[in-house]
Amino acid sequence: MGNLVLEALCKRYGSSTAVERVDLEVKQGEMVALLGPSGCGKTTTLRMVAGFIPPSEGRILIGGQDVTRRPAHARDTGMVFQSYALFPHMTVGQNVAFGLEMRKVGRAERDGRVMEALRLVRLDHLADRLPRQLSGGQQQRVALARALVVNPAVFLLDEPLSNLDAKLRGEVRMEIRALQQRLGLTTLIVTHDQEEALTMADRLVVMERGRVRQVGTAEELYENPTDPFVAGFVGRCNLIEGRLEAPGGFRAASGALLHCDVEAAEARPDAALLALRPERIGLQPDAEGGGRVAAVTYLGAQTEYLVEQDGTSLLIIRPTPTLADPLRRLAVGDAVTLSWEAAAARLLPAAT
Amino acid sequence: MSMPAPSRLLFHAVVAAAFALMLAPVVMVMVISVFRQEIVSFPPPGLTLDWYVNAWDRQEFARGFVSSLQVALMATLIGVPTGTAAAYAIARGWLPGKGAVNTLLLSPLAVPGVVAGTALYMFYLRAEFWIDADITATLHGLVAAHVLLTIPWTVRLVSASLAQLDRSAEEAAANLGARPFTVFRRVTLPMMRPGIVAACLFSFIQSFENLELSLLLVGPGRTTLPVAMLSYLEFRIDPTLAAVATVQILLVGGLMLLTDRFVKLSRVV
Ligand SMILES: Nc1ncnc2c1ncn2[C@@H]1O[C@H](COP(=O)(O)OP(=O)(O)O)[C@@H](O)[C@H]1O
Ligand SMILES: [Mg+2]
């Protein structure tokens, strides 16, 4: 076990750049998720760590040792592939034993550790089956056991849940997280699914077009995005273009004046975007109000409202009001007043 | 498939007719091989297995069978490892201009057998003069010619199975600590096995039943079974030939079915 450090890691294909100067540390026993839309360079980053792709620039350190030039077989990473990549001609037991064989672990110890790893994923009763005789979820767990049995220094997962159905995905997600915490594995997981990343990882790395946009815990990214892409990608967000009008006012491009925190405005005088989470906006029916309801979508526990105010459209999400609440009778065309705490409005620089 | 009833009927009728047309000669040969009378007539005057006994008694068929077996085995033994290595190198992009190499390796299949056989015959005569040794009418000359069948077929079948091979299984092996050669031996080769087995069987069939390529290259006393059958036909027509053909059909058909279990032939041929 050890920590994983990426230093200014780059990968270029001809004139196009897949990964651009990624700096990152995954601490001993920590689980970090690479999150971002398809094609943003997550898999490329992970495969550089595993040693399948040589970086164009930068360094990779595992447990303090520079492994940038080491071949994949000498890196001591344990990878779980998106397609599982089980050996089709070997039984489940032989699949799991493979890494131990390569490490010249003796027969008796090997058998013991294989069974132990299979017990960990609750598949010890299927050791003699071939991979094709297993369900997708079971194959996935064999792939986990095969990677874990060798106690890799770094555990790598590439979209491990993408081939499972929705119900199984939730279960396996918790199972992987529990295993990772129990064994104290230094883990890098790749996903494009933000719910997956938010629920599993200690920290998230949001990537876009090969660059790291922001690194932080789920809460930090959600409450305190420093980048317009992150604000829009993690959770839903109203992003309004405009500029600051001192003090504590933000003039939207459409002309609406929206209030924001005075101190925050002083800290970022160049703000070009106002980010406002839909559930942080309060809503009151008010005949004198400046907002007009443009749409109401009932979603059971929550209701979504689209409100037009001075040419700006805002999404608002509220817990569905009780039947007695006048808000419950709100209909398209009604006038409303909107309210939010000044601190809830985050100021961001222009998108790049 | 959803088609209106009349056109579906027509479709099935055409398919049935095509199958009948293709299978009729094969079935006829098998039927004739057990007719008692020498001149084929209907209804048959009676059934017999005498023609099979007769075929076995005739030296040229028994010997032809043995040398066809020999040639096919040797051509397979040489062609399959060579073709497999070539297909692997092509698939992994180790060869510069791999498209050209692939085309070159498959090209013998595009040349009509008689043309290739004649060209080889002329080349062998020239070569005999240079190296001062017999090539035409020898076993190794024949085997060398048949390797021109077994290599292309192997390249074709093994390439098809390599195209389906999941590369990430190889990466997984490397990730678990296997060096490149170990990855090849423990993961790649076993995953290629169905393709290689199919290549062995199909190469054997192609060589065993080949007539055109062998025609000019066989010599007296060393004739392959198809050539022996053709020569017999020049002098007489009787159900002996049908008996020999039936044995050949059963052998080849059986091997084909076996091959199809490893690689779906409809996808490759
Ligand atoms: N072998 C390659 N050659 C050229 N471009 C590639 C290659 N592999 C990946 N890319 C490009 O690099 C970018 C990042 O790819 P990838 O890391 O697979 O994205 P992700 O896993 O985030 O979906 C994509 O734009 C992709 O087209
Ligand atoms: Mg990917």
Phi and psi dihedrals of B91, rounded to 5? -60, -35
Residue range B141-161: average pLDDT? 92
Q: CATH second-level architecture of A236-348?
A: Beta Barrel (2.40)
Q: Could you give the ipTM of this predicted complex? A: 0.85
- Alpha-carbon B70 to chain mean position: 14
Residues surrounding ion ligand 2 at CB below 5 Å: A 43
Q: Do B172 and A146 touch (CB under 8 A)?
A: yes
Q: Which of A15, A19, A44, A49 to mutate to test the pocket of ligand 1 (most atoms within 8 A of CB)?
A: A44
**Around A343, how many Cα atoms within 13 Å sit in the side-chain half-sphere?**
2
**Ligand 1 centroid to residue B96 C-alpha, Å:** 25
pTM of structure: 0.81
pLDDT of residue B140: 86
Predicted confidence band of residue A307 (pLDDT cuts 50, 70, 90):
very high
Question: CB of B179 within 8 Å of any CB in chain A?
Answer: yes
CATH 3.40.50.300 assigned to domain A4-223? The reply is yes
Q: Do B193 and A89 touch (CB under 8 A)?
A: yes
- What is the C-alpha to C-alpha distance for residues A334 and A331, in angstroms, rounded to an integer? 6
Chain B residues within an 8 Å CB radius of A48: none
CB A161 within 8 A of CB A200: no
Question: Is the pLDDT score of A265 beyond 70?
Answer: yes
| Residue A305 to residues A35, A222, A326, A331, Cα–Cα distance (Å) | 29, 21, 15, 10
Q: Residues 152-171, chain B: which have Cβ within 8 Å of A?
A: 166, 168-169, 171
- Closest-CA distance of chain B to residue A78, Å: 7
Within 8 A by CB and 6+ apart from A12, the residues are A18, A56
**Ligand 2 centroid to residue B153 C-alpha, Å:** 37
All structural domains of chain B: 58-235 (1.10.3720.10)
pLDDT in tens, A315-336: 999 999 999 998 999 999 999 9
Among A1-15, A186-200, A271-285, B249-263, the range scoring the smallest mean pLDDT is B249-263
Question: Is the pLDDT score of A200 beyond 70?
Answer: yes
Query: H-helix or E-strand containing B13?
Result: helix B5-32
Residue type, A151: N
Instruction: Report the chain A residue with the minimal C-alpha distance to residue B169.
Output: A85
CB A97 within 8 A of CB A147: no
Chain A residues within an 8 Å CB radius of B187: 87
Which residues make beta-bridge pairs with A313?
Answer: A308
Q: What is the DSSP letter of A351?
A: P
CB B182 within 8 A of CB B59: no
Q: What is the DSSP letter of A281?
A: -
Residue range B53-60: average pLDDT? 84
Give domain limits for chain A. Answer: 4-223, 236-348
Within 8 A by CB and 6+ apart from A272, the residues are A241, A242, A243, A348, A349, A350
For the residues of A92-105, what is the DSSP string, one character each? HHHHHHHHHHHTT-
For the residues of B105-124, what is the DSSP string, one character each? HHGGGGS-HHHHHHHHHHHH
Question: Is the pLDDT score of A130 beyond 90?
Answer: yes
pLDDT in tens, B64-110: 999 999 999 999 999 999 999 999 999 988 888 878 888 888 888 88
**Ligand 1 centroid to residue A211 C-alpha, Å:** 13
Predicted confidence band of residue B220 (pLDDT cuts 50, 70, 90):
confident
